[in-house]
Structure 1
Amino acid sequence: LSNQWVPLWGGVLITIGDTLGFLFLDKYGLRKLEAFFGFLIAIMAVTFGYEYVMVRPNQVQVVKGLFYPYCAGCGQYELLQAVGIVGAVIMPHNIYLHSALVKSRAVDRSRQEEVKEANMYYLIECTIALFVSLLINIFVIAIFGSAFYQKTNKDVYEMCVNTSSPYIHQLQTNGSLDVDIFKGGIVLGCYFGPAALYIWAVGILAAGQSSTMTGTYAGQFVMEGFLKLTWSRFRRVTVTRLFAIVPTVIVAAVKDVSDLSAMNDILNVLQSILLPFALVPILTFTSMPTLMREFTNGRLGKALGLLISLLVFGVNVYLIVVYVEDLKQVYLYALAAIISAVYLLFLAYLVWKGLVFTGMTCGSRGQDHHFTHQLLRD
């Protein structure tokens, strides 16, 4: 957006100030903050929708892909992208955030009728939000799939060299095209003009602000709920932002934008790997009759939750296997094997505990019942 006037590390530092400013909107009421989130989402929908119309993907194939997610000749690279999409869309920290935001609603939880009514309205709210999120992701994936998939760097370079794009030096001339959100904007600008480039940039900016704010808020709720830290709002926001911003500033200062984009892709995959640690507890708690009473998950909800969890586990295990196969050094094999074993063992322990707390008697111990009573007391 600055036409390279602002250095990469400078842009990262700017996000500290604007994010802090946006986060203090909750001082004027949660509804105003939610309205601002809605504004950012609307910007994403409009900007990415514009790019979708410009690219004009095959509508039949897009609809088919929604119900039959298959592509001919796809392999490990495409699966890695799919795992990254799962991590980017179903962010683990957003599960904590939504759980905390439910508590902000003025509902008399001692009255079953009011809780049912609140659940209905929250279901409508979440359905609308997820539907808009689905549209945005359809736009982005279809744009990348139609405009960039199976293209070579030479194809794109020859298209861009005939334009006045100031970012032509960011493109290579050999090998297959490896597109990220930065190069995607450059190529869209070459194909459809500067307007497409800047509209894409505005959409990415809105997406980044929204993601940053939700991550920071989730960090605050985790600090308050799990760590029992009753800090001031400014102190909480500052500390949680520093945890994320310091590594980003370092990478931005010593590397270029392609490295930062690669780090973003890795973080999306890591979020998918970490997803079970948020997914299993939330399914466990909502399936506990002693905790949820008449609002406990039904059999269909439990079955769907289990199916989705197993799917996420399976994809993550496959991802680990693929990653280990690509390692060349023996000590890296050993390190990866240890980390993978710890990850899988902890997942198994988490699932076992979840089954115990939801009613399985085999393997349960007295301290499990003590934990349940303590949870109900809190």
Structure 2
Amino acid sequence: MLKSFGRITKYLKTLGKFIGPGFMIAVGYLDPGNWATDMEGGSSFGYRLLFIILVSNIIAVFLQNLTIRLGTVTGLDLASASRKFFPKWLNLFLYVLAEIAIIATDIAEVIGSAIALNLLFPSLPLPAGVAITAVDVFIILLFYNEDVEDDENSTSGRMVRIFEIFVMMLVAAVGICFIIELAYSDIVAVDVFKGFLPTREIFTEPEVLYVAIGIIGATVMPHNLYLHSFIVQSRCREWKISRPKVSKRGEQWIVKSNQFDLQPNKPVQQNMTPLEMIMSHTSIPVDSSGQVNFESVRKYLDRSLKKNLHYGFMDLLVALTFAFFVNCSILIVASANFYYTSGGQGQQQIQDLFSAHALLLQYLGPPAAVTFALALLCAGQSSTLTATLAGQVIMSGFLGMTTRPWIRRIVTRLIAITPAMVAACVAGRSGLSNMLVASQVALSIQLPFAVVPLVYLTSRRSTMKLDLVVEGKEVDSIPLVTEQAKMSLIDRLVSRLRFSRSKSDWTRFPQFSKLNKRAVKDFFVQSSGQGEEEEERPSSDSSIEEKPNNRLTIDALPEPLVYANGKVTKVISVLVALLLIGLNGYLVVSLFMQI
């Protein structure tokens, strides 16, 4: 009993380290677009569309798990993978559609937040509410640093974690608000459970099918596929940076264990685990003959990657289960209060979020109405945070932009706010509501163009592979003085602080402590241009060449680990992609026919 409890505790403790990315994705399933479709479905057709929410959530879990696999195995987000493996014309085409989708997503979040502020503070003009929602971009600028390659920058890691916790708090606030809404509502549990079963009316009645497709389109968000494959990479940093580093030299490859030293002739200790062999800064794994023991590297990476995939999926499952509860709660509240009314069925249909708030105020009183507005505000703000970050990922990945992140985030935010501000100023409430519907149509159009590349890339063996070594150039770990001269004053200061901070970590490795401290000292001397040369200095590339024992050479790179989709997963992926293409095509055609 105690052993089982200990294993469960250990499992939950490990899972806690991976919790975060899933909830950043879950907010996309709680955005105002979901609210609009769920409220319309509940008020018009009762609990019948709970089955559609269940199906759409299962589809979302499946697709998001593919993005976890893509980001974890390849180290690329969906946008970057498209740029790497697709022709330029196709990459540009996908970028334009993705940019339109992210603008549509951000417009929906901005509108939702502006509506919530107007409901909470009726005297606040809608344009002012739209402008206030721009503030959240500065929260991202303050907390989030996406430099997943920076293994020494622990401060950035903590700030990312704080940002994730902040988003999780907003999501939790939405859930708490709807628990309160459910408590205010008169719900028949038997009818709710029946709603999770499929009914003929969903597929035979055009009105029901239309709303059902809208729910699916609002639930499976394209920008989440790009964002999730990016943010999961931060959980892979520890074991990916431990891979041996190689560089091309003639017909051979030179293997380096770390940036400072290499002891290839030291035999592997029998009691060392693969993790200790790789993470140790004394040498890379070698066998008794002095050859690189890539089998140990392969086993360690395979175990680490499977661990990341498992806990990443569990993080996703927990987060989307919570999002599933909130989406069901929205539809149940609408059904209980506006469909199953005392005067009969279908008496009050929801036209927009303003009318939903007014009806809640009428039927349940001010507390329920205020709770509804607060939940909408939290959902809108959390969604705008992740949508802005997704916009940056899309722009950086497809175009390979190297501009500063805060510039890309501000540009993305301004692009989204401009049309929402125009609609709020010109058409008021009706304009915002119509734009909210239009944004969902734009997302439906773009969805297949995100799903199909995802399915294609995760099914290719040449894409879904993890190299056992890291290929790089023969450069010193300490920046050269010429490179330092090109840095700005602030960047140079940050660089020095980073080397100074990492200096404390070397005390764990006594055999390198003296060498590394002196390397940092020489770095500061070079940067400042002062001081005299000492007799002993860290080895440069030329001196290393004179010491053959400081390098291992291999004739060919080892075979990578391959994690492409299996046959069953491929079949399911194709069916899901075809289903989404068909449903969203039907939705788009129906809307254009109505126009």
TM-score under structure 2 length normalisation: 0.49
- Alignment pair present for 1:306 and 2:592: no
Q: Which moved more, 1:312-321 or 1:235-244?
A: 312-321
Q: 1:237: Cα distance to partner? A: 1.3
In structure 2, what is the Cα distance between the partners aligned to 1:69 and 1:266? 29
**Distance (Å, rounded) in 2 between the aligned partners of 1:73 and 1:176:** 23
Retained in 2: the 8 A contact 1:87–1:270?
A: no
SS at match of 2:464: helix
1:59 maps onto 2:189 in alignment? yes
Aligned counterpart, 1:353: none
Pair 1:94 & 2:266 matched = no
Corresponding position of 2:415: 243
1:296 corresponds in structure 2 to 564
* Structure 1 unmatched ranges of 5 or more: 156-174, 328-378
- 1:125-140 paired onto structure 2 within 5 Å: 125-140=315-330
Aligned to 1:201: 373
Match of 2:135?
A: 17
CA distance in 1, matches of 2:126, 2:194: 39
Alignment of 1:149-228 (within 5 A): 149=339, 177-228=349-400
AA aligned to 1:318 is Y
- CA drift of 1:140 comes to 0.7
Q: Does 1:36 align with 2:36?
A: no
Judge conservation of contact 1:148–1:179 (CA < 8 Å) in 2: no
Report the CA distance between 1:73 and its aligned residue: 10
1:200, distance to aligned residue in structure 2 (A): 0.4
Instruction: Work out the percentage of aligned pairs sharing the same amino acid.
Output: 35
AA matched with 2:144: D
1:316 is matched with: 584
Higher helix share: 1
TM-score by length of 1: 0.75
Task: Determine helix, strand or coil for the equivalent of 1:289.
Answer: coil
Cα 1:277–1:69 change in 2 (3 A) is: farther
Q: Residues of 1 paired with 2:450 and 2:207: CA distance?
A: 26
- CA deviations on 1:250-277 (whole Å, 9 max, x unpaired) are 0001112233123212312321221111
Counterpart secondary structure, 2:144: helix
Structure-2 separation of matches of 1:46 and 1:267 = 27
Amino acid at match of 1:142: I
| Secondary structure in structure 1 of the residue aligned to 2:196 | helix
CA 1:190/1:19 → structure 2, altered by over 3 Å: closer, same or farther? farther
Task: Check if 1:108 corresponds to 2:280.
Answer: no
Offset at residue 245 of structure 1 (A): 0.4
Deviation digits for residues 152-193 of structure 1 (CA, Å, limit 9, x no counterpart): xx99xxxxxxxxxxxxxxxxxxx9734322221221111111
Q: Relative to structure 1, is the Cα distance of residues 255 and 75 closer, same or farther in structure 2, using a 3 angstrom cutoff? A: farther
AA in 2 matched with 1:99:
S
Query: Does structure 2 retain, via aligned residues, the 8 Å contact 1:40–1:206?
Result: yes
CA deviations on 1:32-77 (whole Å, 9 max, x unpaired) are 1111111111011111222123223332232232242555797444
Shift of 1:23: 4.8
Coordinate RMSD, CA, aligned: 2.6
Aligned match of 1:143 in 333, 336, 352? 333
Contact 2:136 2:385 in 1 (8 A): no
* Runs of 5+ consecutive residues of structure 2 not aligned to the other structure: 1-118, 146-155, 244-300, 466-561
| Contact 1:52–1:143 (CA under 8 A) maintained in structure 2 | yes
Whether the 8 Å CA contact 1:150–1:177 is kept in 2: the answer is no
Question: 2:153 aligns to what?
Answer: none
2: CA distance, partners of 1:302 / 1:315: 20
* CA separation of 1:15 and 1:107: change in aligned 2, threshold 3 A: same
Q: Which moves more between the two structures, 271-280 or 64-73?
A: 64-73
1:108 deviates by: 2.4
8 A Cα contact 1:47 1:202, kept in partner: yes
1:172 paired residue number:
none
Tell me, yes or no, if the aligned pair for 2:227 and 2:389 is still in contact at 8 Å.
yes
Contact residue 189 and residue 197 of structure 1 kept, 8 A: yes
| 2:217 and 2:440 in contact (8 A); partners too | yes
Give the aligned residue type for 1:119.
L
Equivalent in the alignment of 1:348: none
**Matching residue's letter, 1:240:** T
Contact 1:83 1:269 in 2 (8 A): no
Aligned partners of 1:195, 1:25: CA distance in 2, in Å? 33
Give 2:178's match in structure 1, choosing from 48, 56, 61. Answer: 48
Report which structure shows greater RCO (CA 8 Å, sep ≥6). Answer: 2
Secondary structure at 1:80's aligned position in 2?
helix
Counterpart contact for 1:220–1:236, Cα < 8 Å? yes
